Amino acid sequence: MDVFKKTDVIKFLKNDDIRNEIIDYALRDSNMTNKIVEDLGDEIADILKDDPTFRQKLLSITSKKPEFREKIITKLIKAFRD
């Protein structure tokens, strides 16, 4: 027997305090955090394929970060070796 309907849950989640508690709890759980990151990554990958403006902006911003450039250079060198 289902106690709650989807509309009940949507109303419940409109409360900022409850949403923040859910997010805080989810981020303390490493499995949940990994799932969130994976889902976001999949969605961002789709956007990157379909939106050249977003892709260019992302590359522009990230290329200014030394850590990102180092990772890209490392991957390029590895690709040249293979």
Sequential pLDDT tens for the chain (82 residues): 688 899 999 998 999 999 999 999 988 999 999 999 999 999 999 988 999 999 899 889 988 999 998 998 999 999 999 8
Task: Please check whether residues 38 and 61 belong to one and the same domain.
Answer: no
Q: Is 82 helix (H, G, I), strand (E, B) or coil?
A: coil
pTM: 0.52
Rounded to an integer, what distance in angstroms lies between the CA atom of residue 52 and that of residue 65?
20
- The whole-angstrom separation of Cα 76 and Cα 69 is 10
- Write the DSSP string, 31-58: HHHHHHHHHHHHHHHHHHHH-HHHHHHH
| 45 and 13 belong to one structural domain | yes
Provide the domain count of the chain: 2
Please tell me whether residues 42 and 60 are part of one structural domain: no
Look up the domain containing 61 and give its range: 52-82
Same domain, yes or no: 42 and 56: no
State residue 1's pLDDT score: 63
Task: Indicate if 28 and 39 belong to the same structural domain.
Answer: yes
Same domain as 64, residue 40: no
Q: Are residues 6 and 17 in the same domain?
A: yes
